[in-house]
Amino acid sequence: MTKARMFDILITKAATYKKFDAIYNLTEGKVQFSMSGDTITSWSDNSVAKPSNSAISAELTRLNNAEPMRLLRLVRDEKLAETDWWAISDLTMSNDRKTYRQALRDLPASADPKLDSDNFLTNVTWPTKPS
C-alpha cells in the first residue's frame, strides 16, 4: 500500500456522529455542556435553550447525509495540494495537468459520493493524475 493510498483510506472513513456532535453544532459551540450517555447532565448558559430531541435528530440526519461530500472534499483538497507546485510561476502547466486540476475542482458538483457498509467513501470516479 502506498503512502498516498493509505492517506486516502484514513480520511475517507466516515465520522460517526453522536448526539453530542448534533448539540454542539446546533449551539454553534457557544454553550458548554456535559453528557452521560444520551442525557445532558450540565448546561452552562440558561439563556440558550437546550435543543429539542427532534432538532437533535434532524441535525444528526443532516450531518450524516453531508458526510460523503465532506469526505470527497477532503480527498479532493489533498489531491489539489499535491499538485499545487505545478502552478508555480516559473513553470508552464501542461493541458493534461490543467484538465486534471479542473476535474478535481469540478467533482463536488458532478459526483454523487456514497458510503459503503464500512463507512468508506465510494461511488466517486477520480480523474487520473497525469505524469
- DSSP string of 86-116? GGSTTSPPPHHHHHHHHHHHHHHHH---EE-
> Is pLDDT above 70 for 12?
no
Q: Say what the pLDDT of residue 4 is.
A: 43
107-122 confidence digits (pLDDT tens)? 999 999 999 888 888 9
Domain boundaries, the chain: 3-122
Q: Say what the pLDDT of residue 123 is.
A: 93
Q: Cell numbers 453544532 correspond to what residue?
A: 25
29-60 confidence digits (pLDDT tens)? 999 999 999 899 999 999 999 999 999 999 99
pTM, entire model: 0.78
